[in-house]
Amino acid sequence: MRRLRVLSVALLSIWAILASVSASLAVQPGEMLSDPALEKRARIISSELRCLVCQNESIDDSNAPLAADLRRLVRERLTAHDSDAQVVDYIVARYGEFVLLRPRFELSTLLLWLTPLLVLLAGIVLVARSSGRTATSQSDALSEEEKAKLAQILSDERR
């Protein structure tokens, strides 16, 4: 059973490699729509959809049969006068969120989308705080420690 799984994974990865190797001619001339505006929309939509059996390839780049099917599907929906968003929704409804190379902004992807902003803000706060700290330690006002030390010295003098 275990061996079977190893084998199937191995076969799957070989298939993925084969599919990606001959990726030279992803979009076939015969697939293209005659209307250039519509075809351009199809290309843009395709570049944002993942080829499900490949590693990190869009259906626009992939030569896998499944990618060709999806490309055809996208063009079918476009010729049926779907809007870009409707086409994407149609594909997502059938293949799940996994097909989106740019995940939607929702609860599960909140951290993904907000990371750049959060790290940047955290960095700014950190820089501001550390420069503020060095500025105060360098300021003329005495720290508690220094005041105590001064008082000590003064009392020593007086004695």
Partner 1 sequence: MIVEFGHFALILALLVATVQVVVPAFGASLRDDRMMRVAEPAAVSQLFLIAIAFFALMYAYVTSDFSVANVAANSHSTKPLIYKMAGVWGNHEGSMLLWVLILALFGAAVALFGNNLPPTLKARVLSVQASIAVAFLLFSLLTSNPFVRLIPAPSDGNGLNPILQDPALAFHPPFLYTGYVGFSIAFSFAIAALIEGRIDAAWARWVRPWTLAAWMFLTIGIAMGSWWAYYELGWGGWWFWDPVENASFMPWLAGTALLHSALVMEKREALKIWTILLAILTFSLSLMGTFIVRSGVLTSVHSFAVDPTRGIFILAILVLFTGGGLALFALRANTMQSGGLFQPISREGSLVLNNLLLVTSTATVLVGTLYPMVLEALTGAKISVGPPFFNMTFGPLMVPLLMALPIGPMLAWKRGDLAGVTQRLGFAVLAAIVAIVAVSAMTHRGPWLAPFGIALGVYVMAGAAIEWANRIKLGSVSRSEVIRRATNLPRSSYGTLFAHFGIGMLVVGIVATSAYQEEHILVMKPGQSLAVGGFDVTFAGVDTGRGPNYRSDIADFDVKRDGASVTRLTPAKRLYDAPPQTTTEAGIHASWRGDLYLVIGDAQPEGGYAVRAYFNPLVRFIWLGALIMFIGGGISLSDRRLRVGAPSRSQRPVAVPAE
Q: For binding to partner 1 (CB under 8 A), which residues are involved?
A: 2, 5-6, 9, 13, 16-18, 20-30, 32, 47-48, 50, 55-58, 61, 96-103, 108-109, 111-113, 115-116, 119-120, 123-124, 127, 130-131, 134-135, 138
Q: How far apart are CA 86 and CA 88, in angstroms?
A: 5
How many whole angstroms separate alpha carbon 75 and alpha carbon 32?
8
Q: Which is nearer to partner 1, 30 or 155 (CB)?
A: 30
By the 8 A CB rule, do 59 and 20 touch?
A: no
User: Cα separations (Å) of 65 from 18, 51, 55?
Assistant: 12, 10, 14
Q: How far is the CB of 65 from partner 1 (least distance, A)?
A: 14
Count CA within 13 A, CB hemisphere, residue 34. 0
Nearest distance, CB of residue 104 and partner 1, angstroms: 9
Nearer to partner 1, 6 or 148 (CB): 6
Report the nearest approach of partner 1 to the CB of residue 27 (Å).
Answer: 6
**Smallest distance from the beta carbon of 70 to partner 1, in angstroms?**
14
Structure tokens at 121: 């803000």
Q: Are 63 and 26 in contact (CB under 8 A)?
A: yes
* Choice between 112 and 151, CB closer to partner 1: 112
Task: Say how far apart CA 154 and CA 32 lie, in whole Å.
Answer: 90
Minimum CB separation of residue 154 from partner 1 in Å reads 28
> In this complex, which beta carbon is closest to partner 1, that of residue 121 or of residue 151?
121
Of the pair 24, 155, the CB lying nearest partner 1 is at: 24
